Amino acid sequence: MKPACKGAAITPPALDEQVSLVRLMEDHFSAYNAARLREAALLWSRRMGQENVTVGLTLTGALTPAGLGPSCLVPLVRRGLVDFIISTGANLYHDAHFALGLNLHRSSPHADDCQLRQDGLVRIYDIVMDYDVLLKTDAFFRKIMESPEFGRPMGTAEFHYLAGRYLAERQRVLGLGDLSLLAACHELEVPVYTSSPGDSSIGMNTAAMALKGHKFAWDVNLDVNETAALVLLAKQGGGQTGVVIMGGGSPKNFMLQTEPHLQEVLGINEKGHDYFLQVTDARPDTGGLSGATPSEAVSWGKVDPEGLPHTVVCYTDSTIALPLLTAYLIQTIGHRPPKRLYARRGEAMELLKKAATPA
Protein backbone atom coordinates (compact mmCIF):
# COMPACT_ATOMS: atom_id res chain seq x y z
CA MET A 1 0.00 0.00 0.00
CA LYS A 2 1.26 3.47 -0.83
CA PRO A 3 2.16 5.47 2.32
CA ALA A 4 -0.47 8.13 1.71
CA CYS A 5 -3.20 5.47 1.67
CA LYS A 6 -2.66 4.16 5.21
CA GLY A 7 -5.90 5.68 6.46
CA ALA A 8 -9.10 3.69 6.53
CA ALA A 9 -11.01 3.54 3.26
CA ILE A 10 -13.97 5.93 3.09
CA THR A 11 -16.80 3.40 2.79
CA PRO A 12 -19.52 4.53 5.22
CA PRO A 13 -22.67 2.43 5.42
CA ALA A 14 -26.01 3.98 4.53
CA LEU A 15 -27.57 5.91 7.38
CA ASP A 16 -30.74 4.46 8.86
CA GLU A 17 -32.98 5.00 11.87
CA GLN A 18 -30.82 2.71 14.04
CA VAL A 19 -27.55 4.63 13.81
CA SER A 20 -26.09 5.67 17.19
CA LEU A 21 -24.18 8.85 17.82
CA VAL A 22 -20.95 6.87 18.29
CA ARG A 23 -21.40 5.11 14.96
CA LEU A 24 -22.40 8.36 13.28
CA MET A 25 -19.21 10.10 14.37
CA GLU A 26 -16.82 7.17 13.89
CA ASP A 27 -18.20 5.85 10.59
CA HIS A 28 -19.65 8.91 8.85
CA PHE A 29 -17.50 11.89 9.89
CA SER A 30 -14.89 11.04 7.27
CA ALA A 31 -13.39 14.30 5.99
CA TYR A 32 -12.93 18.04 6.52
CA ASN A 33 -13.97 19.40 9.91
CA ALA A 34 -16.31 16.48 10.48
CA ALA A 35 -13.19 14.32 10.49
CA ARG A 36 -11.45 16.73 12.87
CA LEU A 37 -14.46 16.47 15.18
CA ARG A 38 -14.20 12.67 15.02
CA GLU A 39 -10.50 12.92 15.85
CA ALA A 40 -11.31 15.27 18.74
CA ALA A 41 -13.85 12.81 20.14
CA LEU A 42 -11.38 9.93 19.88
CA LEU A 43 -8.58 11.99 21.45
CA TRP A 44 -10.70 13.00 24.43
CA SER A 45 -12.26 9.57 24.86
CA ARG A 46 -9.26 7.30 24.37
CA ARG A 47 -6.41 9.43 25.69
CA MET A 48 -7.58 12.40 27.75
CA GLY A 49 -10.31 10.24 29.26
CA GLN A 50 -7.76 8.10 31.10
CA GLU A 51 -7.82 8.48 34.88
CA ASN A 52 -4.24 9.77 35.10
CA VAL A 53 -4.90 12.75 32.79
CA THR A 54 -5.88 16.08 34.31
CA VAL A 55 -8.22 17.86 31.87
CA GLY A 56 -8.51 21.64 31.81
CA LEU A 57 -11.43 23.14 29.88
CA THR A 58 -11.71 26.72 28.60
CA LEU A 59 -15.01 28.43 27.76
CA THR A 60 -15.30 31.49 25.54
CA GLY A 61 -18.32 32.96 23.81
CA ALA A 62 -21.91 32.96 25.00
CA LEU A 63 -22.18 29.21 25.66
CA THR A 64 -24.21 29.15 28.88
CA PRO A 65 -26.97 31.46 27.53
CA ALA A 66 -27.45 28.89 24.76
CA GLY A 67 -28.22 26.24 27.39
CA LEU A 68 -24.91 24.38 27.15
CA GLY A 69 -24.48 24.53 30.91
CA PRO A 70 -27.27 22.09 31.86
CA SER A 71 -26.99 20.07 28.64
CA CYS A 72 -23.22 19.60 28.36
CA LEU A 73 -21.04 21.24 31.00
CA VAL A 74 -22.87 19.96 34.09
CA PRO A 75 -22.84 16.35 32.77
CA LEU A 76 -19.11 16.60 31.95
CA VAL A 77 -18.36 17.83 35.46
CA ARG A 78 -20.59 15.30 37.18
CA ARG A 79 -19.03 12.43 35.22
CA GLY A 80 -15.51 13.46 36.23
CA LEU A 81 -14.51 14.28 32.66
CA VAL A 82 -13.35 17.85 33.42
CA ASP A 83 -10.95 18.63 36.28
CA PHE A 84 -10.66 22.43 36.20
CA ILE A 85 -12.15 25.24 34.12
CA ILE A 86 -11.06 28.65 32.89
CA SER A 87 -13.99 30.69 31.59
CA THR A 88 -15.03 34.16 30.67
CA GLY A 89 -16.90 35.83 33.51
CA ALA A 90 -19.88 36.29 31.19
CA ASN A 91 -20.43 32.54 30.89
CA LEU A 92 -20.51 32.22 34.67
CA TYR A 93 -22.79 35.22 35.10
CA HIS A 94 -25.30 33.83 32.60
CA ASP A 95 -25.00 30.40 34.24
CA ALA A 96 -26.52 31.96 37.34
CA HIS A 97 -29.76 32.83 35.51
CA PHE A 98 -30.66 29.14 35.29
CA ALA A 99 -30.18 28.48 39.01
CA LEU A 100 -32.24 31.56 39.85
CA GLY A 101 -35.18 30.50 37.69
CA LEU A 102 -34.71 33.39 35.26
CA ASN A 103 -35.61 32.35 31.74
CA LEU A 104 -33.83 33.00 28.47
CA HIS A 105 -35.73 32.49 25.20
CA ARG A 106 -35.09 31.50 21.60
CA SER A 107 -35.41 34.40 19.19
CA SER A 108 -33.99 35.51 15.85
CA PRO A 109 -30.69 37.13 14.86
CA HIS A 110 -32.79 39.48 12.74
CA ALA A 111 -34.86 40.89 15.60
CA ASP A 112 -35.42 44.65 15.70
CA ASP A 113 -33.01 45.77 18.41
CA CYS A 114 -34.57 49.21 18.75
CA GLN A 115 -37.92 47.55 19.43
CA LEU A 116 -36.28 45.11 21.84
CA ARG A 117 -34.83 48.03 23.75
CA GLN A 118 -38.24 49.68 23.96
CA ASP A 119 -39.73 46.39 25.17
CA GLY A 120 -37.09 45.97 27.86
CA LEU A 121 -35.44 42.96 26.21
CA VAL A 122 -31.76 42.12 25.73
CA ARG A 123 -30.45 40.10 22.77
CA ILE A 124 -27.50 37.72 22.49
CA TYR A 125 -27.60 36.92 18.75
CA ASP A 126 -30.71 34.69 18.60
CA ILE A 127 -31.36 34.57 22.37
CA VAL A 128 -33.44 37.15 24.24
CA MET A 129 -34.08 37.80 27.91
CA ASP A 130 -35.97 40.37 29.92
CA TYR A 131 -33.79 43.20 31.21
CA ASP A 132 -35.08 42.23 34.65
CA VAL A 133 -33.07 38.99 34.37
CA LEU A 134 -29.91 41.08 34.50
CA LEU A 135 -31.13 43.21 37.38
CA LYS A 136 -32.15 40.19 39.48
CA THR A 137 -28.86 38.40 38.78
CA ASP A 138 -26.91 41.54 39.68
CA ALA A 139 -28.86 41.76 42.93
CA PHE A 140 -28.08 38.10 43.69
CA PHE A 141 -24.33 38.58 43.38
CA ARG A 142 -24.33 41.77 45.43
CA LYS A 143 -26.43 40.09 48.11
CA ILE A 144 -24.19 37.06 48.55
CA MET A 145 -21.14 39.32 48.63
CA GLU A 146 -22.53 40.94 51.76
CA SER A 147 -21.72 37.68 53.53
CA PRO A 148 -18.57 37.93 55.69
CA GLU A 149 -16.87 35.10 53.77
CA PHE A 150 -16.54 37.41 50.76
CA GLY A 151 -15.07 40.28 52.78
CA ARG A 152 -11.43 39.77 51.78
CA PRO A 153 -9.21 39.34 48.70
CA MET A 154 -9.37 35.91 47.06
CA GLY A 155 -8.71 34.13 43.80
CA THR A 156 -11.47 33.54 41.31
CA ALA A 157 -11.61 29.80 42.09
CA GLU A 158 -12.57 30.50 45.69
CA PHE A 159 -15.08 33.16 44.66
CA HIS A 160 -16.80 30.80 42.22
CA TYR A 161 -16.72 27.93 44.71
CA LEU A 162 -18.50 30.07 47.32
CA ALA A 163 -20.98 31.43 44.77
CA GLY A 164 -21.65 27.88 43.55
CA ARG A 165 -22.86 26.89 47.01
CA TYR A 166 -25.47 29.66 46.97
CA LEU A 167 -26.55 28.80 43.43
CA ALA A 168 -26.90 25.14 44.36
CA GLU A 169 -29.15 26.07 47.25
CA ARG A 170 -31.28 28.41 45.12
CA GLN A 171 -31.93 25.83 42.43
CA ARG A 172 -32.72 23.26 45.16
CA VAL A 173 -35.21 25.54 46.92
CA LEU A 174 -36.84 26.46 43.61
CA GLY A 175 -37.03 22.80 42.56
CA LEU A 176 -35.31 23.52 39.26
CA GLY A 177 -33.07 20.48 38.96
CA ASP A 178 -29.37 20.27 38.14
CA LEU A 179 -28.91 23.36 35.94
CA SER A 180 -25.97 25.43 37.16
CA LEU A 181 -22.36 24.76 36.16
CA LEU A 182 -21.03 26.64 39.19
CA ALA A 183 -23.30 24.62 41.49
CA ALA A 184 -22.05 21.34 40.02
CA CYS A 185 -18.43 22.52 40.24
CA HIS A 186 -18.97 23.40 43.91
CA GLU A 187 -20.26 19.93 44.67
CA LEU A 188 -17.57 18.09 42.67
CA GLU A 189 -14.83 20.50 43.80
CA VAL A 190 -13.85 21.50 40.26
CA PRO A 191 -11.91 24.80 40.41
CA VAL A 192 -13.34 27.48 38.10
CA TYR A 193 -11.15 30.43 37.16
CA THR A 194 -11.78 33.63 35.22
CA SER A 195 -8.78 35.07 33.42
CA SER A 196 -10.22 38.62 33.28
CA PRO A 197 -12.45 38.91 36.37
CA GLY A 198 -13.30 42.57 35.83
CA ASP A 199 -14.56 41.90 32.30
CA SER A 200 -18.10 40.73 33.05
CA SER A 201 -21.26 41.64 34.92
CA ILE A 202 -19.89 39.79 37.95
CA GLY A 203 -16.86 42.05 37.81
CA MET A 204 -19.04 45.13 37.47
CA ASN A 205 -21.01 44.15 40.56
CA THR A 206 -17.87 43.52 42.60
CA ALA A 207 -16.64 46.95 41.48
CA ALA A 208 -19.94 48.45 42.67
CA MET A 209 -19.41 46.82 46.05
CA ALA A 210 -15.92 48.35 46.21
CA LEU A 211 -17.47 51.81 45.88
CA LYS A 212 -19.27 51.08 49.15
CA GLY A 213 -16.00 50.19 50.86
CA HIS A 214 -16.38 46.41 50.57
CA LYS A 215 -13.11 44.59 51.28
CA PHE A 216 -13.37 42.02 48.51
CA ALA A 217 -10.71 42.15 45.77
CA TRP A 218 -9.58 39.77 43.02
CA ASP A 219 -6.19 38.12 43.60
CA VAL A 220 -5.16 37.61 39.97
CA ASN A 221 -1.58 36.65 40.89
CA LEU A 222 -2.96 33.75 42.88
CA ASP A 223 -4.91 32.58 39.82
CA VAL A 224 -1.78 32.63 37.64
CA ASN A 225 0.21 30.62 40.17
CA GLU A 226 -2.62 28.30 41.16
CA THR A 227 -3.49 27.17 37.62
CA ALA A 228 0.18 26.45 36.91
CA ALA A 229 0.40 24.63 40.25
CA LEU A 230 -2.46 22.31 39.31
CA VAL A 231 -0.59 21.40 36.11
CA LEU A 232 2.61 20.76 38.07
CA LEU A 233 0.70 18.67 40.62
CA ALA A 234 -0.57 16.45 37.83
CA LYS A 235 2.80 16.08 36.13
CA GLN A 236 4.91 15.47 39.24
CA GLY A 237 2.33 13.02 40.48
CA GLY A 238 3.10 10.82 37.48
CA GLY A 239 0.12 11.93 35.41
CA GLN A 240 -0.45 13.88 32.22
CA THR A 241 -2.38 17.00 31.29
CA GLY A 242 -4.74 17.79 28.45
CA VAL A 243 -6.40 21.04 27.42
CA VAL A 244 -9.80 21.38 25.78
CA ILE A 245 -10.25 24.86 24.33
CA MET A 246 -13.74 25.95 23.35
CA GLY A 247 -13.20 29.12 21.34
CA GLY A 248 -10.28 31.43 22.02
CA GLY A 249 -9.83 34.71 23.82
CA SER A 250 -8.29 35.25 27.21
CA PRO A 251 -9.25 31.85 28.72
CA LYS A 252 -7.37 30.10 25.89
CA ASN A 253 -4.12 31.89 26.65
CA PHE A 254 -4.59 31.67 30.41
CA MET A 255 -4.84 27.90 30.13
CA LEU A 256 -1.89 27.55 27.77
CA GLN A 257 0.38 29.94 29.67
CA THR A 258 0.49 27.54 32.61
CA GLU A 259 3.40 25.72 30.98
CA PRO A 260 5.48 28.82 30.04
CA HIS A 261 4.91 30.05 33.59
CA LEU A 262 6.40 26.83 34.93
CA GLN A 263 9.28 26.66 32.46
CA GLU A 264 10.18 30.18 31.39
CA VAL A 265 9.36 32.18 34.51
CA LEU A 266 9.69 29.76 37.41
CA GLY A 267 12.55 27.70 35.96
CA ILE A 268 10.87 24.34 36.47
CA ASN A 269 11.90 21.49 34.16
CA GLU A 270 8.73 20.76 32.21
CA LYS A 271 7.88 19.90 28.59
CA GLY A 272 4.34 21.16 27.97
CA HIS A 273 0.81 19.78 27.95
CA ASP A 274 0.46 16.24 26.65
CA TYR A 275 -2.86 16.63 24.81
CA PHE A 276 -4.39 19.58 23.00
CA LEU A 277 -7.93 19.85 21.62
CA GLN A 278 -9.29 23.11 20.26
CA VAL A 279 -12.63 24.06 18.71
CA THR A 280 -12.40 27.45 17.07
CA ASP A 281 -13.55 29.61 14.19
CA ALA A 282 -10.47 31.86 14.34
CA ARG A 283 -7.60 31.89 11.83
CA PRO A 284 -3.87 31.96 12.55
CA ASP A 285 -3.03 34.38 9.71
CA THR A 286 -5.10 37.21 11.24
CA GLY A 287 -3.66 36.80 14.73
CA GLY A 288 -6.74 35.17 16.24
CA LEU A 289 -4.82 31.97 16.91
CA SER A 290 -1.43 33.55 17.53
CA GLY A 291 0.69 31.22 19.66
CA ALA A 292 -2.18 28.77 19.97
CA THR A 293 -2.08 26.39 17.04
CA PRO A 294 -0.47 23.16 18.27
CA SER A 295 2.80 23.70 16.38
CA GLU A 296 3.14 27.34 17.49
CA ALA A 297 2.30 26.27 21.03
CA VAL A 298 5.23 23.84 20.93
CA SER A 299 7.59 26.74 20.18
CA TRP A 300 6.37 28.46 23.36
CA GLY A 301 6.68 25.34 25.50
CA LYS A 302 2.91 25.18 25.88
CA VAL A 303 2.64 21.73 24.27
CA ASP A 304 5.05 18.82 24.58
CA PRO A 305 6.66 18.26 21.13
CA GLU A 306 6.11 14.53 21.60
CA GLY A 307 2.42 15.28 22.02
CA LEU A 308 1.96 16.84 18.58
CA PRO A 309 0.43 13.63 17.19
CA HIS A 310 -2.15 13.96 19.97
CA THR A 311 -3.41 17.43 19.03
CA VAL A 312 -6.58 18.33 17.15
CA VAL A 313 -7.92 21.67 15.94
CA CYS A 314 -11.49 21.58 14.66
CA TYR A 315 -12.69 24.70 12.85
CA THR A 316 -16.35 24.83 13.77
CA ASP A 317 -18.83 26.39 16.18
CA SER A 318 -18.53 25.34 19.84
CA THR A 319 -22.32 25.14 20.08
CA ILE A 320 -22.19 22.39 17.45
CA ALA A 321 -19.11 20.57 18.69
CA LEU A 322 -19.71 20.55 22.44
CA PRO A 323 -23.05 18.67 22.46
CA LEU A 324 -21.67 16.05 20.04
CA LEU A 325 -18.46 15.61 22.05
CA THR A 326 -20.38 15.42 25.34
CA ALA A 327 -22.78 12.77 24.04
CA TYR A 328 -19.89 10.79 22.57
CA LEU A 329 -17.97 10.84 25.87
CA ILE A 330 -21.04 9.82 27.86
CA GLN A 331 -21.62 6.87 25.53
CA THR A 332 -17.98 5.76 25.42
CA ILE A 333 -16.31 6.66 28.74
CA GLY A 334 -19.33 7.14 30.95
CA HIS A 335 -17.65 8.20 34.19
CA ARG A 336 -14.19 8.91 35.61
CA PRO A 337 -13.45 9.29 39.32
CA PRO A 338 -13.51 13.04 40.10
CA LYS A 339 -10.12 14.50 41.07
CA ARG A 340 -11.65 17.16 43.34
CA LEU A 341 -8.77 19.55 42.70
CA TYR A 342 -10.34 22.47 44.57
CA ALA A 343 -9.41 20.81 47.86
CA ARG A 344 -5.85 20.21 46.61
CA ARG A 345 -5.01 23.81 45.67
CA GLY A 346 -2.99 24.37 48.83
CA GLU A 347 -1.00 21.20 48.24
CA ALA A 348 -0.37 22.26 44.64
CA MET A 349 0.83 25.71 45.69
CA GLU A 350 3.27 24.27 48.21
CA LEU A 351 4.66 22.03 45.50
CA LEU A 352 5.02 25.04 43.19
CA LYS A 353 6.85 27.10 45.80
CA LYS A 354 9.35 24.32 46.47
CA ALA A 355 10.00 23.68 42.76
CA ALA A 356 10.22 27.31 41.60
CA THR A 357 13.58 28.87 40.85
CA PRO A 358 12.68 32.16 39.11
CA ALA A 359 15.48 34.04 37.37
Q: Which residues does the annotation mark as catalytic?
A: 302
Asked whether the beta carbons of 359 and 267 are under 8 A apart, the reply is: yes
Asked whether the beta carbons of 197 and 203 are under 8 A apart, the reply is: yes
The closest of 52, 81, 66 to 328, measured between CA atoms, is 81
Element (H, E) at 38: helix 32-43
Compute the distance between CA of residue 135 and CA of residue 359 in angstroms, rounded to an integer: 47
127-130 vs 121-124, strand pairing mode: antiparallel
The closest of 308, 302, 223 to 263, measured between CA atoms, is 302
Compute the distance between CA of residue 94 and CA of residue 102 in angstroms, rounded to an integer: 10
The closest of 215, 111, 220, 203 to 155, measured between CA atoms, is 220
153-154 vs 217-218, strand pairing mode: parallel
Q: Strands (DSSP E) along the chain, which ranges?
A: 53-59, 84-87, 105-106, 121-124, 127-130, 153-154, 192-194, 217-218, 240-246, 275-280, 311-315
Element (H, E) at 184: helix 181-188
